[in-house]
A = this chain, B = another copy of it.
Amino acid sequence: MGDARSSGNDASAGTASFVHRIRVGWADCDPARIAYTGRIPYFALEAIDAWWQHRIGNDWFSLNIDRNLGTPFARLEMDFRFHVTPRAPLECTVHLTRLGETSIGFAVDGHQAGRLCFQGKFVCVFVVADRHEKTAIPADIRAIAEPFLSAPPA
């Protein structure tokens, strides 16, 4: 793996889960001495961006710039189970839960030291980036993504 934030996915291609490990630091924490709530969606989104990079071969930047494809979010929801701190790496597991005609769904859960900290669900829509126009998921992306499709975690 070339870089540090976007890290360790499980090696086997047949496995449905992808883990993106994040360093949580002082900068992420608020006066309650835990990661600020507003940072948690950032962490989950970073994990989805890393999923794109490692599973599909294009992160959001490359999708947009090189392929003129955007995947803006239509919806997100998150349940916060336990606070996040700098005491341990944050392991974000990304599940691909839906491949629609023009939309894609993810579930992301975050663990620290084995404890579940948050669970989130996300829906994105494919658009032609420079026209903001809905478009079908390209066949090559669908072909690569499909084997990773899994039921959302309970």
Contacts and interface: CB of A to CB of B under 8 A. Distances in A.
Contact of A59 (B25, B30, B64, B79): B25
A132 B5 CA distance: 28
A3 interface: yes
A23 B38 contact: no
A2 B87 CA distance: 11
Contact of A4 (B8, B62, B77, B80): B8
A87 to B, nearest CB: 8
Interface size class for chain A? 35 or more
Interface string A76-101: 11111001011111000000000000
Number of copies: 4
Contacts of A88: 2-3
Contact of A45 (B37, B59, B75): B37
A31 B8 CA distance: 27
B26 A49 contact: yes
A4 B26 contact: no
A20 B80 CA distance: 25
Interface of A: 2-8, 20-23, 25-27, 29-34, 36-38, 41-42, 45-46, 49-50, 59-62, 64-65, 70, 72-80, 83, 85-89, 129, 132
